[in-house]
Amino acid sequence: MKLRSTVIALSAFAALNSGAVAQDSVGYIDDRSDGAALVRSLYNAINRKEFARAYGYFGESKPVGGFQTFTRGYARTVSVEVKIGKVRTEAGAGSIYAAVPVAVKSVEKRSRVRFFAGCYVARIINPSLQVPPFTPYQIEAARLREVKGPLEQAVPGVCNAP
């Protein structure tokens, strides 16, 4: 009887918190171990409507217009899907740069679908040269433009690191 009561209580809790459960159906990803993982984490945050986390993945070169403009840019977005191409990594001046080619499928309200393609440049100060606090990969630049789909064909062949 105790097990049945627990199951009923958990079911009621899930029903009352269905918004939180739906959001959590997209698992939380926060991986800054390389440029591709960072970009995947960015779009995971956008899918989960965690815009402060998404904005936080950018380094000193924040998106134009600041946080409020960044957030408003996703006001009509229902979901995003990202496809990542061949990442090119280069070292220079004490940093490691990763040029990440991407294509993004954005589903907006009223089922409008848009595609974007371009490059992200992620940077990490060489980990062996850092002192606390440690700074993981950050997005230094994002250059995307609207393109025609499908997603798989929209990924650029190559992006160049700075």
Per residue in 22-39, pLDDT tens?
344 579 999 999 999 999
Q: What is the pTM assigned to this prediction?
A: 0.82
Give the pLDDT of residue 158.
86
What rounded mean pLDDT belongs to the chain?
86
Fold (topology level) of 30-154:
Nuclear Transport Factor 2; Chain: A, (3.10.450)
Q: What is the DSSP letter of 58?
A: B
Average pLDDT over residues 155-161: 87
pLDDT of residue 160: 79
Q: What is the mean pLDDT of residues 30-51?
A: 97
At residue 161, the pLDDT reads 73
Whether 151 has a pLDDT exceeding 80, the answer reads yes
Domains of the chain: which residue ranges? Answer: 30-154
Mean pLDDT of 88-105: 95
Q: Which long-range contacts (CB under 8 A, 24 or more apart) does 25-33 make?
A: 32/57, 32/136, 32/137, 32/138, 33/136, 33/137
